[in-house]
Amino acid sequence: MKVTIKEVAQQANVSPSTVSRVLKDSHMISQATKDKVNEIINQLGYHPNEIARSLANQSSQTLGLVMPASVEDNFVNPFFTQFLLGVTQYLEVHDYSLLLSSAKNEEDELNQISRAINSKRVDGIILLTVREKDNNINYLLENNYPFVVVGTPAEKEKMLWVDNDNKKAMREVTENLILSGHKRIAFLGGSQKLQVTKSRLIGYKETLKKYGLEVDRNLILEVQFSEEEGYRATNDLLKKVKDIDAIITTDDLIAYGSMRAVKDNGYLIPQDISVTGFNNTILAQYLSPSLTSVEINAIELGCQAAKILLNHINDNKLKNNFHIVDTKLMMRDSTK
């Protein structure tokens, strides 16, 4: 038979409300009382009724995250698994859970977010992308619902957000290639509706202009975040343009496919064409040649997203409404 909070209170010779406060680690309860009650809880094997606690606190103790429709195979991309690890590690310490769902398209994303908040299943939402004219952001702002976005939104002062400095990171990648003697540098990125792609593309263009190199639209391709798309786009590019000496990609998965296409077209990496990735996935160092990539610290991004949102929900004072996570260019054998 399940042990009740009243039985714990009787054994510890305190009131049920005191036991409840101990479970919340209330500062109103002395450490001696906490120790005594926790000892009884362990002896009796008591487990609180989380649903009842949620109703009493008017809190679900859960955050919601909808995997974006813009990425075909979310769990194939190591960024998402690393990001989720960071989120869940932080939530676990703070007795929160994560409600995870995936969407078929952008309209479905909004429907799932709407259902989650209207059914009071979550206390806040984590958005993994920022788009132009983002319907998800607009909906959450209109409903005054707690949320955090991964990416830099257009109206940065109005909401919580975490991101890398993507312009700076891409400027470093492009500058490194230029200083190594590259002059015809292609750019393979995701949808330009995504703010992260736009920021990285700006960094690329700014650096080319800084060093007096042409921004050639024929060398800028929009692709899906997959190895197959990286291969297809690079294969098409190399058949049309013969003087490319470097390919920048905005995701390691794209880079994997790009490297394969470079080799299949008879070029050597990096002697003929250098290739770079982004996200520094675990396989990057084991490829042949190993892949130069940008470490974005996806686990830290997830941790900071959960932290800033929970602090907001719990009315903790925030020094800033955003957090920038550092990046690092990991130089390997795929570049000169």
Q: What is the mean pLDDT of residues 310-330?
A: 91
Portion of the chain with pLDDT greater than 90, in percent:
62
CATH number belonging to the domain at 166-296, selected among 3.90.550.10, 3.40.50.150, 3.40.50.2300, 3.40.50.300: 3.40.50.2300
Alpha carbon distance 187, 243 (integer Å): 14
**Which is nearest to 253 in space by CA: 222, 235, 227, 287?**
227
What per-residue confidence (pLDDT) applies to 58?
58
Give the residue with greater pLDDT, 23 vs 161. Answer: 161
Alpha carbon distance 80, 124 (integer Å): 19
Contacts (Cβ under 8 Å, ≥6 apart) of 30: none
- Is residue 104 helix, strand or coil? coil
What per-residue confidence (pLDDT) applies to 272?
98
Matching fold, domains 62-164+298-326 and 166-296: yes
Flag whether pLDDT at 71 surpasses 60: no
Lookup: tokens for 65 = 């995250």
What per-residue confidence (pLDDT) applies to 8?
84
Portion of the chain with pLDDT greater than 70, in percent:
94
Mean pLDDT of the chain: 90
Question: What is 26-87 written as a DSSP string?
Answer: -TTS-HHHHHHHHHHHHHHT----HHHHHHHHT--SEEEEEE-TTSTTGGGSHHHHHHHHHH
Alpha carbon distance 258, 263 (integer Å): 9
Q: What is the mean pLDDT of residues 228-249?
A: 96
Confidence class for position 75, pLDDT limits 50, 70, 90: low
Top-tier CATH class for 5-48: mainly alpha
What per-residue confidence (pLDDT) applies to 55?
45
Exposure letters 131-165 (e unless 16+ CB within 10 A, then b): beebebbebbeeeebbbbbbbbbeeeeebbbbbbb
pLDDT tens for residues 243-295?
999 999 999 999 999 999 999 999 999 999 999 999 999 999 999 999 999 99
Phi, psi of 241 (to 5 degrees): -120, 120
- Is residue 131 helix, strand or coil? strand
- Is residue 222 helix, strand or coil? strand
**Domain ranges, ordered by start, for the chain:** 5-48, 62-164+298-326, 166-296
What per-residue confidence (pLDDT) applies to 294?
98
Alpha carbon distance 229, 223 (integer Å): 6
What per-residue confidence (pLDDT) applies to 95?
84
pLDDT tens for residues 108-147?
999 999 998 888 889 999 999 888 888 999 999 999 999 9
Flag whether pLDDT at 187 surpasses 90: yes
Q: What is the mean pLDDT of residues 74-82?
A: 78
What per-residue confidence (pLDDT) applies to 133?
84
Architecture of the CATH domain 62-164+298-326 = 3-Layer(aba) Sandwich (3.40)
Exposure letters 213-238 (e unless 16+ CB within 10 A, then b): beeeeebbbebbbbbbbbbbbbbebb
